[in-house]
């Protein structure tokens, strides 16, 4: 299902902060129903995520330190889409950098808004199959603290249901990929 865009009237728009990965705006607008107000919005170029599966059927995840949560989250590999970059290229780069695997087969799983209450970021989800380990291990970005974790789909589902720290984009993408596993 595609999001049907409805017209709104922007009355005032202020860039409050310009960051490395996103911008923060304060926008005064009139909604389609006529209500006026001010809203804050994080403007983000989007992210790409892969649900990588080894030939043995194991899912490849990363346990990554996330400063905002003050701890490590279990996630599928993902990264920010660069300016003028196709999300498929983003995730091909990120899966190699974060996991040390390269995929031979890709399937587009679609896209979804990550946090539509305050951000315009969309996640582009992909299924990565026919994985092979890279001969030369990748160098992690200096601002990343990542551990690669292999799990069966059943183990991941048990982890999700146990309430362990797994990010929402990974849970949503897993369930998009599940019919193809």
Structure tokens at 116: 């539509």
Residues 6+ positions from 132 with CB-CB distance below 8 Å: 101, 102, 104
Q: Are strands 47-52 and 122-133 parallel, antiparallel or unpaired?
A: parallel
With vertex at residue 56, the alpha carbon angle to CA 72 and CA 86, rounded to the nearest 5 degrees, is: 60
Residues recognised as catalytic: 142
In angstroms, rounded to a whole number, what is the distance separating the alpha carbons of residues 108 and 115?
21
Structure tokens at 82: 């660069």
Residue with the two structure tokens 């949560």: 69
In angstroms, rounded to a whole number, what is the distance separating the alpha carbons of residues 44 and 63?
23
User: Are 172 and 112 in contact, with CB atoms under 8 Å apart?
Assistant: yes
């Amino acid at each position: 299902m595609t999001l049907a865009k409805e017209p709104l009237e922007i009355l005032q728009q202020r860039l409050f902060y310009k960051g490395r990965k996103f911008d923060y705006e304060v926008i005064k607008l009139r909604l389609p129903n006529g209500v006026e107000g001010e809203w804050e919005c994080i403007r983000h170029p989007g992210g790409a995520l892969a649900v990588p599966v080894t030939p043995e059927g194991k899912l490849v995840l990363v346990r990554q330190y996330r400063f905002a949560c003050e701890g490590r989250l279990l996630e599928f590999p993902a990264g920010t889409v660069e300016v003028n970059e196709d999300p498929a290229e983003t995730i091909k780069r990120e899966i190699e950098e974060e996991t040390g695997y390269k995929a031979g087969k890709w399937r587009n799983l679609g896209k979804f808004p990550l946090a539509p209450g305050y951000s315009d970021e969309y996640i582009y989800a992909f299924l990565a199959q026919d994985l092979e380990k890279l001969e030369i291990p990748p160098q992690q970005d200096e601002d990343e603290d990542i551990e690669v974790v292999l799990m069966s789909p059943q183990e991941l589902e048990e982890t999700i249901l146990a309430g362990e720290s797994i990010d929402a984009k990974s849970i949503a993408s897993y369930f998009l990929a599940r019919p193809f596993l």
